[in-house]
Amino acid sequence: MPKIVLTADRTLMSEYNKHEFLGFAACSPKFIPGWLYTKIFCPPLKEENGGVKFGHCGQRKIEASLLNNSFSEKDVAVVRPDRLNKVVNKETKVLCITTHDPLGLGPASTTFSDLAGKETFTSFFFRKLITDPIIRKHNLTVMVGGPGAWQLTDERIMARFGIDSVVVGEGEITAVKLIENALNGEKLPPFVQGEVVPLSQIPLVRNPTINGIIEICRGCGRGCKFCNPTMLNFRCQSIENIMKEAKLNVDAGNGVLFHAEDVLRYKTKGFVPNEKEVLKLFNGAKKLTDNIGISHFAHASAMAKPSLIEKLSELMDAGSKNCPFLSGQVGIETGSPRLVAKYMKGKAKPFKPEKWPEMIIESHKLLSDNHWVPVETLIMGLPGEKPEDTRKTIDLIHDLSEYKSLVVPLYFVPIGNLQGKGFFRTKCNTSEHWQLLAACINHDFKWVYQLAEENLSTVGMSGWKIWMIKRVIKIMERKLNPYLKIMGEGINPITNPPTNALKNLPINERSYIQTGGMGWRI
């Protein structure tokens, strides 16, 4: 039995029906039944040889680091949280938990849970994992790391959950040292800042990752003040190492999903994409599989090298039946040039902050012409935001209405260089914020059905699951429509709920509860 067990909460241990972006449903409030959520959005990972067949990319990196540092395969196991009782025994000493959003304090979770007045799946499943009796039964040393570890850096929270040490930042060096110390019976420090890992010491994964995720770059370099990744050193893996991980994943039955804060900036030394290197990267993966995706990109990168977008679309046969569109997450954040200059000047480079709205619109034209669909974020409530800033963002969303995309408005969360600032909450919403929320939701309902129809079938999802997802969306739209009408007029729907409009809902869908937010359930 293993000495070291790596796991994560239920929301991270899934292939999401082979569609990575369905994983964002974990940030939603628990307004749909748990069985439906786990069946449609988050089915459990398949098991193999006592562990998981595919693992979280961050876990696979820690696993590889341990195996590169004198530990054997029998010492380390990556398992699902519901299988801890099958794996953990008296020989197990250390439990390492990867987390993205343990308390539901991330931007997406904060926004949705605060509006709905309900707990998110992320926090629910993390609490379920961390309170598993098997942990106390064997007196395991509990370490937590990952992108959401910052939420746990409070000794009261650690004591409540029985956490021994929290690692914030990179873990390939620091976490391995802590695990060795724990195995030697040493007391661990409660909070540790992970040591920056030199490129040469970032290990190749030994086993396949969920949906073939491959970390091609680490860090960002654009310097946005509200972001954590931008605080990390920017470095890119060699194409040789990337192709080794790609082959490992393809041989296991995966596709390839390139992950970076901006995939288009692979091997660039500035802010204009290195077209030759990016095309070399995609051409290398194309020799292994046609199933290639990306996690993130930037509008400024797309506009700085339009020919790259055109060539990638041609290479990937975007717009065809097998590849209806390419997609990735990208930040708009605001339509206000003033806020761009204040908080994210680097995000606009090589363009000027004052040209931000025009550049965003031109980027959408470019992407639309080449069958790209951006999944975009906005930040509501940046410190010092004024009504005129929000109105400019509303205008920008209206200008983007003709372009197929999804826009996700998020409340400001004080991370990065803005730690210490206050969280933005629903109670802080101005009339303009309600109008912005309505504009974004209306935009998304305009496109989401077509996107679901075009994309979900290409990843092999069964027809009934696609129907169920569209059904859930349709119910959400019907329930939200009465709110959206008054929100569009700048009226607070919480203090002025549209009760008359709700009378028009079918009787079996009128089970709506006012809970300090727009609480509803299916």
Q: How far apart are CA 334 and CA 410, in angstroms?
A: 11
Q: How far apart are CA 267 and CA 45, in angstroms?
A: 33
Sequential DSSP letters for 342-365 = HH-HHHHTTS-GGGHHHHHHHHHH
**Residue 38 DSSP one-character state:** I
Mean pLDDT of 3-12: 97
pLDDT digits (tens, 9 = 90+) for 433-462: 999 999 999 999 999 989 888 877 776 677
In the predicted structure, residue 503 carries a pLDDT above the cut 60: no
469 against 386, higher pLDDT: 386
Nearest to 166 by CA among 245, 248, 96: 96
**pLDDT at position 258, please?**
98
**Residue 213 DSSP one-character state:** E
Q: How far apart are CA 349 and CA 339, in angstroms?
A: 15
Q: Which token pair is 185?
A: 């019976």
- Who contacts 212 (Cβ-Cβ below 8 Å, separation ≥6)? 246, 249, 250, 254, 255, 256, 257, 291
Q: How far apart are CA 212 and CA 227, in angstroms?
A: 25
pLDDT digits (tens, 9 = 90+) for 31-72: 778 888 888 889 999 999 889 999 999 999 999 999 999 899
Residues present in the chain in total: 522
pLDDT digits (tens, 9 = 90+) for 268-321: 999 999 999 999 999 999 999 999 999 999 999 999 999 999 999 999 999 998
Q: Name the least confident of 33-37, 107-111, 174-178.
A: 33-37
188 against 470, higher pLDDT: 188
Mean pLDDT, the chain, as a whole number? 92
Q: What is the β-pairing status of strands 235-236 and 217-218?
A: antiparallel
pLDDT digits (tens, 9 = 90+) for 115-166: 888 899 999 999 999 999 999 999 999 999 999 999 999 999 999 999 999 9
What phi-psi label fits residue 222: left (phi over 0), alpha (psi between -120 and 50 degrees) or beta?
A: alpha
Q: How far is CA 484 from CA 148, 284, 336, 476, in A?
A: 32, 46, 23, 12
**Residue 37 DSSP one-character state:** I
Sequential DSSP letters for 275-332 = HHHHHHHHHHHHTT-S-EEESB--HHHHHH-HHHHHHHHHHHTTTSSS-S-EEEEEEE
**Residue 131 C-alpha from the chain's centroid:** 24
**pLDDT at position 332, please?**
98
**pLDDT at position 396, please?**
98
**pLDDT at position 459, please?**
65
Mean pLDDT of 251-256: 97
Q: How far apart are CA 251 and CA 166, in angstroms?
A: 35
Nearest to 93 by CA among 1, 155, 211, 210: 1
The type of residue at 256 is: V
Which helix (H) or strand (E) segment holds residue 451: the answer is helix 431-455
pLDDT digits (tens, 9 = 90+) for 334-370: 999 999 999 999 999 999 999 999 999 999 999 999 9
Which pLDDT band holds residue 470 (cuts at 50, 70, 90)?
confident
Mean pLDDT of 260-271: 96
Sequential DSSP letters for 110-162 = HHHHHHHTS-BHHHHHHHHHHT-HHHHHTT-EEEEESTTGGGG--HHHHHHHT
For residues 39 and 127, the answer to whether their CB atoms sit within 8 Å is: no
Q: Which residues are 236's β-sheet partners?
A: 217
Q: What is the β-pairing status of strands 47-48 and 141-145?
A: unpaired
For residues 9 and 123, the answer to whether their CB atoms sit within 8 Å is: no
Q: Which residues are 105's β-sheet partners?
A: none
**pLDDT at position 91, please?**
96
* Ramachandran angles phi, psi of 298, nearest 5°: -130, 140
The 10 Å Cβ neighbour count of residue 248 is 19
Which pLDDT band holds residue 177 (cuts at 50, 70, 90)?
very high
Q: What is the β-pairing status of strands 4-8 and 372-380?
A: unpaired
Q: Which token pair is 29?
A: 């409030």
Q: How far apart are CA 309 and CA 88, in angstroms?
A: 48
**pLDDT at position 506, please?**
46
Q: Which token pair is 115?
A: 């509006």
**pLDDT at position 29, please?**
87
In the predicted structure, residue 26 carries a pLDDT above the cut 60: yes
| Strand, helix or coil for residue 218 | strand
Q: How far apart are CA 138 and CA 406, in angstroms?
A: 46
State the pTM of this model: 0.92
The type of residue at 166 is: V
In the predicted structure, residue 517 carries a pLDDT above the cut 80: no
In the predicted structure, residue 392 carries a pLDDT above the cut 80: yes
Q: How far apart are CA 88 and CA 78, in angstroms?
A: 11
In the predicted structure, residue 514 carries a pLDDT above the cut 60: no
Give percent of the chain above pLDDT 70: 94
The domains of the chain, with CATH numbers, are: 4-199 (3.40.50.280), 208-424 (3.80.30.20)
Mean pLDDT of 259-274: 96
